[in-house]
Structure 1
Amino acid sequence: MAISSAVRDQSPPRLKGRAVIGNTWEFKQDRLALFSRTFEQCGDLGAYKVAGQYMYLANSVELVHEILIKNGAAFEKTERFRAFGRPLLGDGLLTASNEVHKRNRRIIQPRFRTAAVKTSVDVAARVAGEVAGAWSEGQVVDVRREMVKVVLGVVGRNLFSRDILGEADELGNALTDAIHGFDSQASALIPLTIEWPTPANLRYRRAIERLERSFHAFLAERRAQADRPDDWLNLLMEARHEDGTPLSDRQIRDEALNMFMPGHETTATALTWSLHLLAKHPDCYARLLAEVDEVLGDRPVVLDDLPRLPYTLQVFKEAMRLYPPVYYFSRQATREVEVLGHRLPAGATVVFSPYVLHRRADYYPDPERFDPDRFAPEREEQLPRHAYLPFGAGHRVCIGNHHALLNGHVVLAALAQRVGLANLPGHTPVTDPMVTLRPKDGLPMRVTRRAPAPATARPVAAEGCPFRAESD
């Protein structure tokens, strides 16, 4: 669209920074504080400077709509994200250009939405039970590590029909190294491609090799099977382009890792913060335990139970409001764009921070307070559209959003049946904002075994189950 002369001089306000380096040091040391300060001092759209480039923080529902919905075609994933994410994620949905993303999502999404939802519930309940079953009374466990194990187990079975709990620690470490490597490159003052033999790059390359080794072994094993299970890997193997040709092995590899890495990392992080917040708020924890005991007793959770466990889902959603795993993401303008009276030049990088957006008091009164009832159905309906952004928005909204909510809902319920978890006295987790918003150095918590509740009746199929196949 043409930019009028009246708008051309209305560039967004800029945050003050140091000479030459701008706000780069703040970004490296405390990017959550930098995002918050940019909003506080510059308003809904403000700029900060990192590595010689101005970044525009957009922090209102109106800007989310204008940039990600109305003008979504004019914004791509940033060149830096795509360059440094490609060694790990290839040209999968997360890193692909808009054109490739649209084509590939059209192939994958219809089947992904309906892929074994009931089976996913059964798998999540079973894996959570297996992991929690190994904890003993009074044991201190690193909940972050254990939730990675749970979600890797769930994703491994859904994606590959493989029990990978035995190698969950090794794969989890590889994924952590990959995340560190990507973050180190993407946030560097002087970015170096993966070919440079820096310590971070060497770890990144080893992590990618470890993940690819597992994937190619899984794929070779699958190709040798006459009777293939109906899982996400099979979905990719059976997918066809519009001309009828199948996806190449490289495309299958890219999309599988795009499901595997973000799918485990974000859900495990959200579950970790959920359990910390429950332990910090005993009244909320007691309410969740009472709901689970009343509905489930000592039997496994099944799909039709989920509408009868609303508070459990509210807890998970509120934890993702306060600690959104993807706490920031960015887009790059492919042309000059006018946004609500401001001019964004071609090449401008626009940053969205769900962490800061979710703390706007006009959207969420008393925003620092943990209050799962914000997501009771009648209150959630009153939220402004796009005020809740844990999965992004627009044509590149996370394809796995429904599965993430499903798995979080089920795992919290399955854990609540078996154990209680308490924060250690004197230990306060510190956020470690890298690619995702992990707690720094894990999250130690103490286990209390729970006696099985009295058995309840089998569930009656409920109308409107929120995890049946649905569209955005």
Structure 2
Amino acid sequence: MPNSTSTPVLPVPRLKGRRLFGNTLDFKKDRLELFQRTFAECGDIGIYTIAGQDCYLVNSIELCHEILIQNGSLFEKTDRFRSFARPLLGDGLLTATNEEHKRNRRLIQPRFRTAVVRHSADITAQVSRAVVAGWKDGDVIDVRREMVRLVLGVVGQNLFSRDILDEANDLGNALTDAIHGFDSQASALIPLTIEWPTPANLRYRKAIERLESTFHAFLAERRALADKPDDWLTLLLECAYDDGTALSDQQIRDEALNMFMPGHETTATALTWSLHLLSRHPECHERLMAESDRVLAGRPATGADLERLPYALQVFKEAMRLYPPVYMFSRQATTDVEVGGHRIPAGASVVFSPYALHRRADYFPDPERFDPDRFESEREAELPRHAYMPFGAGHRVCIGNHHALLGGQVALATLAGQAHLTSVPGPSPVMEPMVTLRPAGNLLMKVTRRSPVPAVPTAPNPSANGATAPRGCPYAH
């Protein structure tokens, strides 16, 4: 609620920093450690300083609820985020103001969720099998690169009804350059607009041009078709406001790239960390392979299989707890706000770190341990609300959260049935917190092709391949 002058407020603890730079160099060097240290030294709310700006790190379920749910309308996406994200994402759902977001999300979300349930399981299974088909027994593959290909293939089919696997490496490189451009501006001591001809900005602009040219070519093709395929691009073309006004080409471009860029990056990153964790915990890997063999016996997964593949989903959720792709996000106060007895002034940046939140031992005992059974249905139901927040929370929670969970579940179950991936000798991967929490460099693994143990799987229910999810499926809500 807005602060009252008659109400005493508690001072917000401040993390010590350097005289001129505050905590800017700490943020550039190791922002994950900075978040952990701010929490350890300041508690549930603390201030660190970046380039002269105070950032209020919030790291408790109570304060997350108070800001993102109870007072969500009083916080917008930050001006800084919009300035460096808008050249790529335009005015789509990720960058829109609260008012624009509410209007457009109400238009897009209902049909988007239906489309996810109807198509995504089949598409993810087909693309996953196509990617694995290119792996030979004994190959050493870069798992990060292969998961980017896999998820780009899925997004290409869902969004454009196109097989873009052959273009995946080129598009993946463009997306990587875009992410580096994002991060370069986000962490700069002196933020420069994209017009400044720095090397990072030049790569960022080239990446945007590559992605835009691909999208506009696909859009022109689609508009020329009399019989349009049932995919996300057609969904956007058919969206109309209450007065009958359709989305403009610019709006379609913005929303499509909001689905394409973050949707690919977060899921590919989460799958990469999932496979890394499984390779380091063979008992979990064996359990996943057994589940895949029992349910699928080598056949492609369908929507009807989701409720019979719970362990695949548990693995994916636990990987996103330990390595949340969106490891931080921020909001900007539009007015003076009092939360938890503390005053947050208008214009202040409030930072949330799922990475730090997911490592609170009072929410997740032994938080550094990989334990997919934390997300067994009964144990998951006992978790405090907002303790697990890989997709954010509140009215701006990620619109693609159901699709990401479904895609991760089906991809892991499919990969486990087709190949056994093991780590090759070498150092453990290092986290590289940029726009997402990627592993730095390559993540190499050895492929052992496998034939699933013959089994008699439960027959899939054809009715579950329609517009509704099977009972117990987490994507039905």
The verdict on a shared fold, with TM-score over 0.5 as the criterion, is yes
Superposed displacement of residue 466, structure 1: 1.3
Structure 2 length-normalised TM: 0.97
Counterpart of 2:169 in structure 1 is 169
Question: In structure 2, what is the Cα distance between the partners aligned to 1:127 and 1:204?
Answer: 29
Question: Distance between the aligned counterparts of 2:309 and 2:448, measured in 1?
Answer: 22
**In 2, Cα distance between equivalents of 1:228 and 1:9:** 58
- 2:28 pairs with 1:21: no
In structure 2, C-alpha distance between the alignment counterparts of 1:12 and 1:259, rounded to whole Å: 37
Code of the aligned partner of 2:254: D
* Letter aligned with residue 314 of structure 1: Q
- 1:260 maps to a residue whose letter is F
Distance 2:2 2:371 in 1: 45
**Structure 2 matches for 1:6-155, cutoff 5 A?**
7=7, 10-155=10-155
Give the counterpart letter for 1:198 in structure 2. T
- 1:455, CA displacement in angstroms? 4.3
Deviations 1:34-73 (A, max 9, x none): 0000000000000001100110100000011000000000
Residues 466 and 188 of structure 1, relative CA distance in 2, 3 Å threshold: same
**SS state of the match for residue 141, structure 1?**
strand
Q: C-alpha displacement at 1:458, in angstroms?
A: 4.6
Q: CA deviation at 1:299?
A: 1.1
8 Å CA contact retained: 2:44, 2:58: yes
Residue from 455, 466, 473 that aligns with 1:466: 473
Provide the rounded CA distance (Å) in 2 between the counterparts of 1:422 and 1:7. 58
SS in 2 for 1:448: strand
Corresponding residue for residue 304 of structure 1: 304
- CA RMSD, Structure 1 to Structure 2 (Å): 1.2
1:241 paired residue number: 241
Q: Is the 8 A contact 1:326 1:354 kept in 2?
A: yes
Residue in structure 1 matched with residue 443 of structure 2 by the alignment: 443
Paired with 1:16 and 1:195, the residues of 2 have a C-alpha distance of: 34
Structure 1's 412 and 2: CA in aligned 2 closer, same or farther, altered over 3 A? Answer: closer
Tell me how far 1:360 sits from its aligned partner: 0.3
Q: CA deviation at 1:102?
A: 0.5
Aligned to 1:400: 400
AA at the equivalent of 2:80: R
Secondary structure of 1:331's aligned partner: strand
Identify the residue that residue 278 of structure 1 maps to in structure 2.
278
**C-alpha displacement of 1:5:** 4.2
Q: Paired residue for 1:434?
A: 434
In structure 1, the residue corresponding to 2:13 is in which secondary structure?
coil
Would you say 1:373 and 2:380 are equivalent positions? no
Matched position secondary structure for 1:57: strand
**CA deviation after TM superposition for structure 1 residue 137, in Å:** 1.2
Q: Whole-Å Cα distance in 2 between the matches of residues 144 and 195 of structure 1?
A: 31
Q: CA deviation at 1:467?
A: 4.8
Is 1:456 equivalent to 2:463 in the alignment? no
Structure 1 length as normaliser, TM-score? 0.98
Deviations 1:390-410 (A, max 9, x none): 000000000000000000000
* Distance of aligned partners of 1:333 and 1:226 in 2 relative to their CA distance in 1, 3 Å threshold: same
- 1:97, distance to aligned residue in structure 2 (A): 0.5
Identity of aligned residues (%): 71
Equivalent residue number for residue 387 of structure 1: 387
Instruction: Indicate the SS of the match to 1:290.
Output: helix
Instruction: Give SS of 1:54's match.
Output: strand
User: For 1:362, what is the secondary structure of its paired residue?
Assistant: coil
- Alignment partner of 2:330: what SS? strand
User: Distance between the aligned counterparts of 2:159 and 2:255, measured in 1?
Assistant: 11
Q: Which amino acid aligns with 1:89?
A: L
CA contact (8 A) 1:67 1:339 kept: yes
Q: Distance in 2 between matches of 1:194 and 1:449?
A: 46
Please give the per-residue CA displacement for 1:347-400, whole angstroms capped at 9, x wherever unaligned: 110000000000000000000000000000000000000000000000000000
Structure 1: distance between partners of 2:35 and 2:185? 20
Structure-to-structure mapping, 1:328-343, within 5 angstroms: 328-343=328-343
Specify the SS of the correspondent of 1:115. helix
SS at the partner of 2:167?
A: helix
In the TM superposition, residue 274 of structure 1 has moved relative to its aligned partner by: 0.2
| 1:165-244 equivalences in 2 (<5 Å) | 165-244=165-244
- In structure 1, what is the equivalent of residue 344 of structure 2? 344
- Which moves more between the two structures, 77-86 or 457-466? 457-466
- Please report how far the alpha carbon of residue 243 of structure 1 lies from its aligned counterpart in structure 2 after TM superposition: 1.2
- Find the aligned partners of 2:404 and 2:457 in 1 and give their Cα distance: 27
- Other structure's SS at 1:192 match: coil
Query: Post-superposition shift, 1:423?
Result: 1.1
Render the CA deviation track for 1:99-150: whole Å, top value 9, x for unaligned: 1000110110110010152321111001011111111111111100000000
Q: Which amino acid aligns with 1:438?
A: R
The alpha-carbon deviation at position 273 of structure 1 amounts to 0.2
Question: What are the superposed Cα offsets for residues 146-186 of structure 1, whole Å, 9 maximum, x if unpaired?
Answer: 00000000000000001100100000000000000011011
Moved over 6 A (4+): none
1:416 match: secondary structure: helix
- Structure 2, unaligned runs of 5 or more: 465-469
Q: 1:304 to 1:15 in 2, by over 3 A?
A: same
Contact 1:323 1:355 in 2 (8 A): yes
| Alpha-carbon distance in structure 1 between the residues aligned to 2:352 and 2:6 | 26
Q: Secondary structure at the match of 2:445?
A: strand
Moved more, 308-317 or 420-429: 420-429
SS in 1 for 2:141: strand
SS at 2:301 equivalent: coil
> Residue 7 of structure 1 contacts residue 343 of structure 1 at CA under 8 Å; is this kept in 2?
no
> Displacement of 1:424 after TM fit?
1.4
Conservation of the 8 A alpha-carbon contact between 2:300 and 2:414: yes
> Are 1:315 and 2:315 matched, yes or no?
yes
Residue 356 (structure 1) aligns with: 356
